[in-house]
Amino acid sequence: MPKSSSPCTLPILRVRDRLSRGGQSPRIDGKLEDYYFQTAKWDCAPPGELSTGLRGKFFNFTQQILYTRLYTILILFPVGLLLLSFIPAPVVQFIGNKLFSTPSVEKIYVQTDKSFYLPGEAIWFSVYLVGEGRHTPSEISDVVYVELIDPKGNVSAKRTLAAADGFTEGDFQLNADDAGGIYTLQAYTRWMKNFGDDFFFKKKLTVQKIVTPRVLMKLDFEKEAYGSGEEVRADFSIRNLQDEPVTDKSFDFVLQLAGKSFNRGSLTTDQLGRAMIAVELPDSLTTQDGLLNVSLNHEGFTESISRSVPIVLNRIDLQFFPEGGTFVAGLPNRVAFKALNEFGQPADVRGVILDEQERQVAKFDSFHDGMGAFNFEPEAGRQYRAVLTKPGGIQQAFLLPDVEDGGTVMQVIQVDREAVSLSIHTHEKRKIQLLAHQGDTTFFAGEFPLKAGRNSLRIPTKKAVAGTALITLLDETGVPQNERLVLINVHQQLNIELETDKESYTPGQPMDLKIRTTDEHNRPVPARLSLAMVNDRIISFADDKQDNIRSALLMSSELKGEIHEPAFYFDENEPKAAQALDYVMMTHGWRKFEWWDNAVNPDSLAFQPETIDVVSGVVMDKNKDRPIKAEIFAVELSPEKKLARTETDESGRFVIKGVNPAYELMIVARGPARYRNDMSIQLDNVFFNPDLYQHFITAIGGTKKTEFVPDFIRVEVQESDQVAMSSEPNATIGQDISLTLEEGQALSEVVVVGYGLAEKRSLTGSIVSIDAFSLRQLPHSDIASVLQGRVSGISTVVNSGPVNQRPPLFIRSISSISNDRPLIVLDGIPLADTQLDQVVQPQQIQSIEILKGPAASALYGSRGVNGVIAITSNTRKWDFNYGLSQKSLTQLVVSSKGYYQTRKFYQPRFTGKHKTGRDAFPATVYWNPDIRTDARGEAVIRFRNSDEISNFRITVEGISPYGEAGRQEHTVHTLLPLSVDTKLPPFVCFGDTLWMPMIIRNNTDRPINGTFQISIPEAFELLSTLPTAVSVPADSSLTEWIQLLVLDREGKFTVKAEFTGEEYQDERLQEVTVLPMGFPVYA
């Protein structure tokens, strides 16, 4: 987990140590690097070494250093002793008890190809899974769950993804008949479930069938709340499909209230393609249903854009947040505030602060999204309240927090690239302790004397990473008094440069894109990136202002509550972004940094980290829902041919490590015979698929008439410490190295010579077992007598050997060419039967299995044709033949890792010819979820452009190996010398009359002459006459209106419009659905 440091007053030796996994305590491994003396006034020591309860770790640390770098011992011991003497115990204990006990958390960011989808489209996404702090790939989890939640709140689809090195990719396929609305994409790990779904990544996706505009328009309100009599101001902008401003364009606007027109007007765009719309609301406003609509004609098309006016009539939720957490009398205070409307959306407000005598003592005015701050020096014993003057008509009054008689006030004056400047106010001289940390990593700590009045301090941030930091002021006893959240080192980012070989392409033409990645110092760095190229008409229409990779990792994942339009705060083109971002820090507070909450014990967390190479589960009595202690066998159908054997603990749980998720895994549980028909295996992170059983059997050479017996697997030993049985007579037997139950059993790599397959109908009776209890009931003193007296088919033959020699054993009903004796195996070691009494006595035997026929030859080949007597002793040192019998084989489960295999994005090849008959154009032109820049920070990719004529936006996001996140956009457009376009509604009804515009665009510098042609399907009747020949002037467009009547023919039909000139030709296909009048009726 990220680490914390203790405060110090002396020069220290800087030590970096390795972070441990899974939220456990930090561990010092003796690795010493980047060490130097630092004589700064205040700095940080290595975590834990100076803590009262952890001081022994300092000496353990120096002892480890002694073995690695002996000369450092002369420095470390004197410095350590001095540090132990001078560090204030309360501060050290506070850090040790609180920071060290907090488990590490993970963050997820999901990049989608876009945020607006049509029914039937695919949702493509990539997932970045990082740890807190430096945002390097997470070392906790390897498995990510991504869910698509429909507008009703139901999970409509789920993907389980293996996230190697903190990255994975996936997709969802929408159906053509899926309901429209706002969907939510949610991503999390099992470890993140310990901290609640506030830590999950969430993104809203809109699914809707629309006709996209032929221009790119935006309409944004200047404020987030308007009331009675106020002036509504909205910024309107328009660009064409070549991403150029549409200047001097006249447009109409209308303000509707409760569905009725209230105010109309007309304006013209300036040289930037922008205009400011201003219209007043009535003084007697009685409705919140306000809509501002803008419409215009562009190249023959009527285009429009609408936005709901944020009208506030009834209630405002106004909250106040004294900076630093205290509201102290007689000291300068800065108070932040945040206002929401009754629907929980930001509301811009203006008002005054009044005391008990109705005297105005301060004013406030929101700066952005209902947030702002004001300065105020309260008096002791007084109560203050806020009254709103804007929006009009709000009668509420809001109380400010109670005034405290004493304490300190901590204010952030400035945050720059070097430090955070603080101003601390107090009534009297005192000593304070100051800590600054990110997550669990303390990057600054110190003790300072304060004078009465104002004190200025600077906290250096060079050693911190980009992200939120919590500054805490503690009193002399180590109790927190003030806290302030700040966002630091925002300049530490991954810079991404995008360069295309052209800015304008013909439809379908290939594009070469160069990508260059650098750090904040413009030094090349490698990076892992995801790229989407999408029709800009969709992006403009969606107007998505949700999180991008930087805002999500640096801000949203650290703060409480949902932040409205978080990408705004990281837009370098927004002049208000920096100041507004600090108001977010002051108002949203923190969630992981509440030190006085009870510390979370990692061992008590319900959800443990999940890795891709581990399968875990529990064996249960399915009837009584209680655990069963059982043996577990696992065989992996992979080229490495891995197998494992382990046992469950008392709670029935087991763990198998080293699993390759790309291959199927056979898991067999053997429990007591009484549970033969009642056992079940419940796996934590694997999906059952019973249909794979026969596939598994067939793959290892079996048939429908055979079944798998895990004991009967003949293998050759690869290493002496692997659990294996060789097929060669003189091969070494591997030792059982089963791990402890806490660690789990790892799959061992072996060469499988033959899998254990036996005929179902012949297996019964081929194995005879005698357990230890039965053996103890027999009076015989030698094994031969035990066997002959107990097991049917065992006999001895008297021969002429020595008097004291035991006669050899035979198994009757086994025919062989030599009629030789059976193979005797003791604890996996082949023996001569005459050695048995010298090696083991009956009372030392745990079990005996007699294998005949296929059961014997399945494991021992030709050596087992005369049968096998397998003896397991209770003092065995070797263990592979576990003697599974048909009686005790109680449950057989075939499973396969349920990791989703992501589809590959399809891109048609470039044929060198322009595609005619342009009809359905995918909005996502290109998606590449995993692009790697090299050590020089460079990558070049080549892909095919869209066949559509439009503007396209390339969006690239990603992370460097050092955790720096970056994002960049670039636009290109496609253009033809001559193009045809039409516009029809997607649905029409019987009897409708349509006027369809047919636009011919000439992008050349000379006129183009040609002819119209239109193909009308049987569901339509042409009511107008087309001209036989037309001429389109240079660099302009021509619109012809075609009147159509919809006939009584239900279904989907295609209208084709075509223009043919001397040099150029183009056509456009458009699909229309014809429906009968009235509402649909379903049987």
Q: Is the same domain home to 275 and 324?
A: no
Q: Is the same domain home to 381 and 368?
A: yes
pLDDT band at residue 835 using 50, 70 and 90 as cut-offs: low
Mapping DSSP to helix (H, G, I), strand (E, B) and coil, where does residue 273 land? coil
Residue where a domain stops, chosen among 172, 207, 242: 207
Tracing tokens 């992996």 back to the chain, one arrives at 636
For residue 1035 the two structure tokens come to 């660099």
Q: Does 567 fall in a domain?
A: no
Q: Is the same domain home to 745 and 623?
A: yes
pLDDT band at residue 17 using 50, 70 and 90 as cut-offs: very low
- Own/partner long-range contacts of 51-54 (Cβ < 8 Å, ≥24 apart): 51/6, 51/92, 51/93, 51/95, 51/96, 51/100, 52/89, 52/92, 52/93, 52/96, 53/93, 53/96, 53/97, 54/96, 54/100
Q: Does 597 fall in a domain?
A: no
Q: Is the same domain home to 60 and 129?
A: no
Q: Is the pLDDT of residue 875 over 90?
A: no
Q: What is the pLDDT of residue 725?
A: 24
Q: Does 551 fall in a domain?
A: no
- Which of 730, 701, 1071, 1040 lies closest to 919 in space, CA to CA? 1071
Q: Is the same domain home to 619 and 740?
A: yes
The percentage of residues in the chain with a pLDDT greater than 70, rounded to a whole number, is 69
Residue where a domain stops, chosen among 177, 207, 237: 207
Q: Does 586 fall in a domain?
A: no
Least confident range of 216-220, 906-910, 1075-1079: 906-910
| CA gap 479, 596 in Å, rounded | 9
| CA gap 1013, 1027 in Å, rounded | 9
Compute the average pLDDT of residues 188-211.
90
Q: Does 909 fall in a domain?
A: no
Q: Taking all residues of the chain, what is their mean pLDDT, rounded to a whole number? A: 76
Q: Does 496 fall in a domain?
A: no
Q: Is the same domain home to 171 and 53?
A: no
Q: What is the CATH number of the domain that holds 992?
A: 2.60.40.10
31-84 pLDDT, tens digit per residue, is: 222 222 222 222 332 222 222 222 223 333 333 333 333 334 344 444 443 443
Least confident range of 160-164, 252-256, 530-534, 667-671: 667-671
Q: Does 481 fall in a domain?
A: no
Q: Residue 1012's CB: how many other CB atoms inside 10 A?
A: 19
Q: What is the pLDDT of residue 444?
A: 93
Residue where a domain stops, chosen among 344, 373, 399: 399
876-928 pLDDT, tens digit per residue, is: 433 333 333 333 444 444 444 567 888 889 877 655 555 555 556 899 999 99
Q: Does 493 fall in a domain?
A: no
Q: What is the pLDDT of residue 620?
A: 87
- List of residues 6+ apart from 780 with CB closer than 8 A: 786, 789, 842
Q: What is the pLDDT of residue 333?
A: 96
Q: Is the same domain home to 681 and 790?
A: no
Looking at the structure of the chain, the number of domains it has is 7
Mapping DSSP to helix (H, G, I), strand (E, B) and coil, where does residue 540 land? helix
Mapping DSSP to helix (H, G, I), strand (E, B) and coil, where does residue 79 land? helix
Q: What is the CATH number of the domain that holds 857?
A: 2.170.130.10
- List of residues 6+ apart from 261 with CB closer than 8 A: 254, 255
| CA gap 94, 100 in Å, rounded | 10
Q: What is the pLDDT of residue 907?
A: 75
Compute the average pLDDT of residues 956-984.
93
Q: What is the CATH number of the domain that holds 141?
A: 2.60.40.1930
Strands 495-500 vs 614-621: parallel, antiparallel or unpaired: unpaired
Q: Is the same domain home to 813 and 701?
A: no
For residue 551 the two structure tokens come to 């805002």
* Cβ atoms 207, 181 nearer than 8 A: yes
- Which of 397, 293, 388 lies closest to 348 in space, CA to CA? 388
Least confident range of 223-232, 357-366, 654-663: 654-663
Q: Is the same domain home to 1063 and 986?
A: yes
Q: Is the same domain home to 139 and 273?
A: no
Q: Is the pLDDT of residue 594 over 80?
A: no
434-469 pLDDT, tens digit per residue, is: 999 887 788 999 999 999 999 999 999 998 999 999
Q: Is the same domain home to 765 and 777?
A: yes
pLDDT band at residue 351 using 50, 70 and 90 as cut-offs: very high
The phi-psi region of residue 779 (left if phi > 0; otherwise alpha if psi is between -120 and 50; otherwise beta) is alpha
Of residues 969 and 784, more confidently modeled: 969
Quote the domain boundaries for residue 630.
Answer: 613-755+892-896
374-428 pLDDT, tens digit per residue, is: 999 999 999 999 999 989 878 889 999 999 999 999 999 999 999 999 999 999 9
Mapping DSSP to helix (H, G, I), strand (E, B) and coil, where does residue 175 land? coil
Q: What is the pLDDT of residue 55?
A: 28
Q: Is the pLDDT of residue 344 over 60?
A: yes
Q: What is the pLDDT of residue 768?
A: 56
Q: Is the same domain home to 631 and 750?
A: yes
| CA gap 591, 584 in Å, rounded | 14
Q: What is the pLDDT of residue 866?
A: 77
Of residues 666 and 93, more confidently modeled: 666
* Cβ atoms 37, 11 nearer than 8 A: yes
Tracing tokens 């975590």 back to the chain, one arrives at 47
Q: Is the pLDDT of residue 549 over 70?
A: yes
Compute the average pLDDT of residues 742-755.
41
| CA gap 290, 310 in Å, rounded | 8
